[in-house]
Structure 1
Amino acid sequence: MEALIEYFTNIPSSHRTLFLVSGLTIFWMIESAVPLFSFKYNKWKHAGINIFFTLTTAIINFAMAFILVKSSDWVVANEFGLIQWVSMPVWLYTIVGLMLLDLIGAYAVHYIEHRVKWMWRFHLIHHTDQNVDTTTANRHHPGESVFRFVFTTVAVFIVGAPMWMVFLYQTLSVILTQFNHSNVRMPEWLDRTLVWVICTPNMHRVHHHYRLPYTDTNFGNIFSIWDRIFGTYIEAPNEKLKYGVDTFMAPEEANNVGTLLKIPFMRYRNTIQYDEDEKL
């Protein structure tokens, strides 16, 4: 445990980049070998759009990283935050801290993005992808990257997370997000086992169905427990899913970086009302 803490306390930026690139590479190869959907699309062009948004997210996070570091240093120095106030073994301290960071910094902000219209305007860029694969994981509008960063910083204050825990959380978040967006066909027994703990592709891709009510379910990022606790967990036959968001299904809009950047500032389009007969 001490070695893990030491590593993430001093993790080089190059290692964090390596985790990002390695995850994309590994899941790209796996989904190419055992895909769930055989998409008829230019995989490289599709990846180019999503990698553009991955880079904008990385730039924003790098530019504001000092805020996160200062926040973490302050809570540790002042023994502020939930895990600072309760004595527990290091392994439990780590698990509880990671779970709470995931709850506030991922599940909560994601849920709110689907409930607050102005936030949804930014988040729906993530949902416009009609060929969801591992590169979709970091397809976030720069504006969304900012308020996700804000929620992560708030989580650090509430949790009282030291910087090594924040780096560990961000690393797990990157890898699990790439995993649960991957277009991989998983054995049912394996998915049924893993989904009790983490968000699997079979679970998360339901969230990317183009129509309500499926879009407003399965918000989890790392741990699946939050969807179960807050009643947002559902299952649906993955083979019947249709990806995208019903208000932006035109390929010239969903596959154009310039248009995607402008969507939050365009006239709002109301989602199509859900028809019970269309239930999967």
Structure 2
Amino acid sequence: MDTIVQYFETIPSSHRSLILIGGITFFWMLESVAPLFTVRYGKWRHAGVNFFFTFTTILVNFTMAFLLVAASAWVVAANFGIVQWLNLPVWATALVGLLLLDLIGAYLAHWTEHRVPVLWRFHLVHHTDQHVDTTTANRHHPGESVIRFFFTTLAVFIVGAPLWLVFLYQSLSVVLSQFNHANITVPNWLDRPLSLLFVTPNMHRVHHHYQLPLTDTNYGNIFSVWDRLFGTYAVADNRSLVYGVDTHMDPKDHGHLGRMLAIPFQKKVKNPQG
């Protein structure tokens, strides 16, 4: 465990980039071997759109990273936050910290984006994708990237996360998001036990169905326990799902960058709550 702590305390930016690129490459290849949906679409053009938003997400996070580092340094120096107060062994700090960072930085952020109209406007871009695959994971409007960063920073303060825990969480979050968006077939014998703890593709793609009530379920990113605990867990036949969001089914809404960037500023954007 000490080795993991030491590595993530000083993880180079190149290694963090490799985790992101390596994850996309791995799941992209797996999608070709064992896809759930085999419908033909412009996979490279689709990926190009999503890679643009991946780049803007990286740019936002890189630009604002100093705030996250400063927040982590402060909570450690001030002995502030849950894991600082509990003074747990390192392995327990990692477990509790990861669970709480995922709860606040991912589940709460995601749930809030579906409940607050102005936040939904930005998150909507993620939901307009009608061909969900591993590249969809980082399909976030730059405005949403800022919103997500705020929740992650809030989580660091509440949890009292040291820097190694922050980078460990972000690395796992990236890979798990790529995994649970991937267009891959996960057999039931594997999905059932795995989804008791982690968010699997079979679970998360239900969230990408184009209509309520399924749109407002399965918010989790790393751990599935939060959806189960808070009553937002849902099961549906994956092959019956239709991706997208019913207010923006025009192909230009999910394939034209200028139009997608403008979605949050349109006069009439229906909130998923009606």
Q: TM-score, normalised by structure 2?
A: 0.98
In structure 1, what is the Cα distance between the partners aligned to 2:101 and 2:272? 34
Deviation at 1:267, TM superposition (A): 1.6
Residue 270 of structure 1 aligns with which residue? 270
Secondary structure class of the residue paired with 2:15: helix
Please tell me the residue identity of whatever aligns with 1:55. Answer: F
Measured against aligned partners, the alpha-carbon deviations of 1:37-73 in whole angstroms (never above 9, x if no partner) come to: 0122111000000000000000000000000000000
**C-alpha distance in 2, partners of 1:141/1:206?**
21
Q: Using the alignment, how far apart are the partners of 2:254 and 2:184 within structure 1?
A: 22
Contact (CA 8 Å) 1:246, 1:271: kept in 2 or not?
Answer: no
Residue type matched to 2:19 in 1?
F
CA–CA distance in 1 between the matches of 2:98 and 2:85?
A: 16
* Contact 2:180–2:201 (8 Å) recurs in 1: yes
Which consecutive residues of structure 2, in runs of 5 or more, have no partner in the other structure? none
Residues 21-51 of structure 1 show CA distances to partners (whole Å, capped at 9, x for unaligned) of 0000000000111100012211100000000
CA apart distance, 1:273? 9.0
Q: Give the RMSD, CA atoms, in angstroms.
A: 1.2
How far did residue 272 of structure 1 move?
Answer: 8.5
Alignment deviations for residues 47-105 of structure 1 (CA, whole Å, 9 cap, x no partner): 00000000000000000000000000000001000110013221111100011000000
Matches within 5 A, 1:14-163: 14-163=14-163
* Residue equivalent to 1:201: 201
Looking at structure 2, the residues matched to 74 and 269 of structure 1 have their Cα atoms a distance apart, in angstroms, of: 39
* More deviation, 262-271/170-179: 262-271
In the TM superposition, residue 12 of structure 1 has moved relative to its aligned partner by 0.3
**Residue type of the alignment partner of 1:233:** Y
Equivalent pair of 1:123/1:141 in contact (CA under 8 Å): yes
- C-alpha change, 1:273 and 1:64, in structure 2 (3 Å) is closer
Normalization by structure 1: what TM-score? 0.96
SS of residue matched to 1:85: helix
Distance in 2 (alpha carbons) for counterparts of 1:87 and 1:271: 42
How far, CA to CA, are the matches of 1:272 and 1:227 in structure 2?
18
- Across the two proteins, how many residue pairs are aligned to each other? 274
Q: Contact 1:206/1:238 (CA < 8 Å) preserved in 2?
A: yes
Match for residue 189 of structure 2? 189
Alignment identity in percent? 63
Distance 2:169 2:204 in 1: 19
Structure 1: stretches of 5+ with no match in the other structure? 275-280
Distance apart, 1:269 and its partner CA: 3.2
**In structure 2, what residue type is equivalent to 1:163?**
L
> Given that residues 80 and 157 in structure 1 are in contact (C-alpha distance below 8 angstroms), is that contact kept between their aligned partners in structure 2?
yes
